[in-house]
């Protein structure tokens, strides 16, 4: 699909994508945006100029700090907005193509804008749905012969995380402090984590509410999922090891998580659906599903040092998930737990079978025993101060490419 605009052939933000986000220019009020190629599209300006007039959307929806009100309009409306965008940028006689004044009002160079947190996250859940990750962690911390716990193939394991500390890409943070208890000391210590790690994840965002007591079936889950972002679930491994028994991660996880700014719609990802792994033993009826529910999304992780030396350290793929989003959402709500617009559900660390596809330093360096050599001669067991971790993701099939851009953040020294 072509555009009358000049768009690079390999851009993440192709004519097949049109994700949604929140942007700011200078110190003006945040506004809803989409993006094609290098052009950020001001949706508030498009609405004011009548491009979406058939939908009668209030101005306040587009001049907004978050996407939540827009998402809450429902897929019928948001998909129509996306269809209008595709047509507007495809049709060389569209109201925008033929009007340079409109182009000045609507199109911004992505280098000139600041991207903000796309949604107000009410609730955040983190799953644990990559079987290779769960196996690796089981081998390292428990029993190499029985790495997976008995519940793993029956329950999409997850925990409720912290929504307040989810930040948009580019938000740097200080190394967290907390309790650790190395094996060779008797009493716990307090101080900055010595084992700061990333977790390569993706997250989906719900676009509809349910009432308390209602459940979502696997076959209707897509109606409730608006889109996806890249997600870095920063983790302090030494704190985690000491605190996680018996209730799971707490301060080792809640100090910061980072997300990519553009929410890619589930509809844009449809061409990249693939079959998931056959689940054996058979799952309970409420977790059964039909069709191809995994998605083939190429993922990468790089570390950039303070001096700008960068190394790609992992190449993974979202298709490696054992549990798909439909099952995660069905499980999350099977007890009547209600969901809200803007809730975020992360996948869990996404590791492939090959060790080059592991999604955390914990696994890549095998708990620090196999350090990663950096191009400047330094080595990494975990993440150093002033390191920037960069995650990227894109799906591609034939001529169609749909990408997420990146999520990155730099670790600052503890304060
Ligand atoms: Ca995680």
pLDDT tens digits, 138-181: 999 889 999 999 999 999 999 999 999 999 999 999 999 999 99
Measure Cα distances from 206 to 52, 159, 228, 316, 338 in Å. 23, 17, 9, 24, 11
Whether residue 47 sits in one domain with residue 139: no
As given in the structure block, the two tokens for residue 97 are 């193509």
The pLDDT value recorded for residue 404 is: 99
Determine, yes or no, domain membership for 229.
yes
Q: How far is ligand 1, taken at its centre, from the CA of residue 104, in Å?
A: 42
Please give the DSSP secondary-structure letter assigned to residue 49.
T
Whether residue 107 sits in one domain with residue 203: no
Determine, yes or no, domain membership for 280.
yes
Whether residue 218 sits in one domain with residue 311: yes
Determine, yes or no, domain membership for 65.
yes
Whether residue 190 sits in one domain with residue 61: no
Instruction: Give the torsion through C-alpha atoms of 140, 145, 148, 149, to 10 deg.
Output: -100
pLDDT tens digits, 306-362: 999 999 999 999 999 999 999 999 999 999 999 999 999 999 999 999 999 999 999
CATH of the domain at 84: 2.30.30.230
Does residue 2 sit in helix, strand or coil? coil
The proportion of the chain whose per-residue pLDDT surpasses 90, expressed as a percent, equals 99
Spatial contact of 261 and 53, defined as CB atoms under 8 Å apart: no
Which residues does residue 410 pair with via DSSP β-bridges, in sequence order?
388
Determine, yes or no, domain membership for 12.
no
Spatial contact of 407 and 229, defined as CB atoms under 8 Å apart: yes
pLDDT interval class at 189 (50, 70, 90) = very high
As given in the structure block, the two tokens for residue 248 are 């799971």
CA atoms within 13 A on the CB side of 365: 20
Spatial contact of 36 and 18, defined as CB atoms under 8 Å apart: yes
Spatial contact of 406 and 392, defined as CB atoms under 8 Å apart: yes
Does residue 108 sit in helix, strand or coil? strand
The pLDDT value recorded for residue 354 is: 97
Q: What is the Rg, in whole angstroms, of the alpha carbon atoms belonging to the chain? A: 22
Exposure string of 131-147, with b = 16+ CB inside 10 Å and e = fewer, is: bbbbbbbbbeeeeeeeb
Q: How far is ligand 1, taken at its centre, from the CA of residue 314, in Å?
A: 16
Q: How far is ligand 1, taken at its centre, from the CA of residue 27, in Å?
A: 34
* Sequence-distant (≥ 6) Cβ neighbours of residue 113 within 8 angstroms: 23, 24, 25, 33, 40
Q: How far is ligand 1, taken at its centre, from the CA of residue 305, in Å?
A: 24
Whether residue 90 sits in one domain with residue 162: no
Residue that terminates a domain, selected from 77, 98, 116: 116
- CA neighbor of 265 nearest in space, from 32, 55, 21: 21
pLDDT interval class at 392 (50, 70, 90) = very high
Whether residue 170 sits in one domain with residue 78: no
* Sequence-distant (≥ 6) Cβ neighbours of residue 81 within 8 angstroms: 43, 52, 55
The pLDDT value recorded for residue 23 is: 98
Q: How far is ligand 1, taken at its centre, from the CA of residue 198, in Å?
A: 9
CATH of the domain at 245: 3.90.850.10
* Domains identified in the chain, total number: 2
Measure Cα distances from 289 to 276, 278, 323 in Å. 11, 11, 11
- Please give all residues whose CB falls under 5 A of ion ligand 1, grouped by chain where several chains appear: 126, 199, 233
Determine, yes or no, domain membership for 7.
no
For the residues 40-50, what does the mean pLDDT come to? Answer: 98
The H helix count followed by the E strand count for the chain is: 11, 26
pLDDT interval class at 219 (50, 70, 90) = very high
Spatial contact of 329 and 289, defined as CB atoms under 8 Å apart: no
Q: How far is ligand 1, taken at its centre, from the CA of residue 292, in Å?
A: 24
Whether residue 392 sits in one domain with residue 269: yes
Whether residue 222 sits in one domain with residue 164: yes
pLDDT tens digits, 267-295: 999 999 999 999 999 999 999 999 999 99
Determine, yes or no, domain membership for 211.
yes
Q: How far is ligand 1, taken at its centre, from the CA of residue 302, in Å?
A: 18
Q: How far is ligand 1, taken at its centre, from the CA of residue 205, in Å?
A: 16
Whether residue 66 sits in one domain with residue 48: yes
Average pLDDT, the chain: 97
Q: How far is ligand 1, taken at its centre, from the CA of residue 156, in Å?
A: 13
The pLDDT value recorded for residue 222 is: 97
Q: How far is ligand 1, taken at its centre, from the CA of residue 176, in Å?
A: 17
Does residue 67 sit in helix, strand or coil? coil
Determine, yes or no, domain membership for 16.
no
As given in the structure block, the two tokens for residue 164 are 């307040």
Residue that terminates a domain, selected from 76, 94, 116: 116
Whether residue 258 sits in one domain with residue 375: yes
Does residue 43 sit in helix, strand or coil? helix
Whether residue 132 sits in one domain with residue 60: no
Q: How far is ligand 1, taken at its centre, from the CA of residue 37, in Å?
A: 31
Q: What's the rounded Cα separation, in Å, for the pair 165 and 256?
A: 5
Residue that terminates a domain, selected from 81, 100, 116: 116
Spatial contact of 198 and 313, defined as CB atoms under 8 Å apart: no
Whether residue 143 sits in one domain with residue 98: no
Q: Is 53 a catalytic residue?
A: no
Q: Which of 53, 133, 160, 332 is catalytic?
A: 133
- Domain span holding position 49: 21-116
Q: What's the rounded Cα separation, in Å, for the pair 253 and 247?
A: 13
């Amino acid at each position: 699909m072509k555009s009358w605009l000049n768009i690079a052939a390999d851009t993440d933000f192709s004519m097949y994508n049109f994700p949604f986000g929140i942007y700011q220019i200078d110190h003006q009020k945040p506004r809803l945006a989409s993006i094609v190629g290098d052009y950020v599209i001001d949706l508030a300006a498009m609405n004011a100029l009548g491009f979406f007039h058939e939908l009668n959307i209030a101005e306040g929806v587009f001049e907004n700090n978050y996407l939540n009100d827009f998402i809450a309009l429902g897929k019928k409306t948001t998909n129509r907005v996306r269809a209008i965008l595709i047509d507007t940028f495809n049709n060389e006689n569209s109201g925008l193509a033929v009007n340079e004044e409109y182009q000045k009002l609507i199109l911004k160079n992505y280098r000139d804008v600041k991207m903000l947190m796309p949604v107000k996250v009410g609730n955040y859940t983190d799953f644990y749905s990559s079987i290779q990750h769960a196996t690796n962690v089981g081998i390292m911390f428990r029993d190499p012969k029985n790495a997976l716990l008995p519940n793993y193939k029956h329950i999409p394991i997850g925990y409720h995380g912290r929504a307040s500390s989810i930040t948009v890409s580019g938000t740097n943070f200080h190394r967290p402090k907390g309790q650790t208890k190395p094996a060779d000391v008797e009493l716990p210590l307090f101080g900055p984590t010595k084992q700061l790690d990333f977790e390569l994840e993706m997250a989906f965002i719900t676009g509809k509410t349910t009432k308390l007591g209602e459940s979502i079936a696997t076959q209707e889950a897509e109606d409730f999922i608006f889109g996806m972002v890249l997600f870095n679930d920063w983790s302090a491994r030494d704190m985690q090891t000491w605190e996680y028994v018996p209730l799971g991660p707490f301060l080792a996880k809640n100090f910061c998580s980072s997300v990519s700014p553009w929410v890619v719609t589930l509809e844009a990802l449809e061409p990249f659906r693939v079959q998931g792994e056959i689940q054996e033993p058979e799952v309970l009826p409420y977790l059964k599903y039909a069709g191809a529910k995994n998605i083939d999304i190429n993922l990468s992780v790089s570390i950039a040092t303070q001096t700008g030396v960068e190394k790609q350290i992992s190449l993974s793929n979202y298709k490696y998930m054992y549990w798909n989003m439909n099952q995660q959402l069905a499980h999350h709500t099977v007890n009547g737990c209600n969901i809200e617009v803007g809730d975020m559900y992360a996948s869990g660390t996404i590791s492939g079978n090959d060790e080059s596809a592991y999604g955390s330093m914990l696994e890549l360096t095998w708990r620090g025993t196999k350090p990663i050599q950096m191009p400047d001669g330094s080595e990494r067991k975990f993440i150093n101060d002033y390191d920037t971790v960069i995650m990227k993701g894109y799906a591609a099939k034939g001529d169609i490419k749909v990408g997420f851009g990146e999520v990155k953040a730099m670790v600052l020294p503890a304060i």
